[in-house]
Amino acid sequence: MVLGADASFLNPDKLLLLVVLAATCACIVASMIAARAGSVPKIRRIAGLEAVEEAVGRATEMGRPILFVPGIQDMDNPMTVAGITVLSRVAGTAAQYDATLDVPVSRSLVMQAARESVQAAALQAGQPDWYDPERIRYITDEQFGYAAYAAGAMARDKPAACFYMGCFFAESLILAENGNAVGAIQIAGTAETAQLPFFVASCDYTLIGEEFFAASAYLSGAPDQLGTLRGQDIAKALIALALAAGVVMATIEAFSPATVTGPAAEVAP
């Protein structure tokens, strides 16, 4: 690629965004290094993740399967990646209890990633024979085709526990209401704000936004991963301070004499 003489190295319109991003990343990386050095943060209990074992245990006792839905987007979506992380934890627990885990997926790449993840979890749980690749199957890329399959599978198999972890759109309520109708314990997690109310209304536990992304660090318990969560909180505090400063400055500006007299001067004859 050849740069023209007038082409700038940095996009000047996004300089502020770059500074914010760099500050956020610096907070996260610094906290990660601090956690490695021994300053491991204490993470509050996340009810939805604590309930994973309860849900899997319930399914085992009832002799009914567990349904895990990793959303309807591909592996380029961070929510799908976060969903696969939770899947590996659910699969590990299900392998220990020898419970049946069904994972219908709507993207081929997600199917491959989910298979890798579940197989590794089964190996780690000391149950390599428990892993059955046919239980992690591709259905369709089509949104409502996938929702129809999942709803039908719930009506036929009556899963005792349903997990919805990933990116969802209009199909969220179809899935959650069908799960509710068969009496399954339901745990959902997504960062799609428009779908959160539906999950909150229909599920027993919901991981809201950043809780969902914190799941992998929370479940791993690794100090460096937990450190990144503290970095997030520091960045959030800085953003809150910037917002408060912005509100104060905007208020002062609104009440300053130049602003107050400005419009009046325009209408004056």
Partner 1 sequence: MSRSVALLICLIGGLTMLVSPFLPMATGWANDVTDWFNILAAMAFVLGGGSLLKVQLMRLSARGPGWGYSAVTLLAFVVTLWVGLGKVGVVADPSAPMVPWSGKPDDEGSAFWWIYLYVMTPITSTLFAVLAFYVASAAFRAFRAKNLEATLLLATAFVILLGRTFAGVVLTGWLPDWASGLRLENLAVTIMDVFNTAGNRAIIIGIALGVASTGIRLMLGLDRSYLGGDA
Region from 71-79, 159-167, 247-255, 256-264 binding partner 1, contact rule CB under 8 A: 71-79
Rank residues 51 and 208 by Cβ distance to partner 1 and give the closer one.
Answer: 208
Do the Cβ atoms of 87 and 164 come closer than 8 Å? no
Query: Which tokens hold the place of 198?
Result: 């539906």
Kindly identify the residues of this chain, within the stretch 104-163, that bind partner 1 according to CB under 8 A: 107-109, 111-113, 116-117, 119-121, 123-124, 134, 137-140, 142-145, 147-148, 152, 156
Region from 5-13, 47-55, 57-65, 257-265 binding partner 1, contact rule CB under 8 A: 5-13
Kindly identify the residues of this chain, within the stretch 73-112, that bind partner 1 according to CB under 8 A: 74-76, 78, 81-82, 84-85, 88, 107-109, 111-112
Kindly identify the residues of this chain, within the stretch 198-217, that bind partner 1 according to CB under 8 A: 198, 200-202, 208-210, 212-214, 216-217
- Tell the smallest beta-carbon distance from residue 193 to partner 1 (Å): 6
- Tell the smallest beta-carbon distance from residue 98 to partner 1 (Å): 20
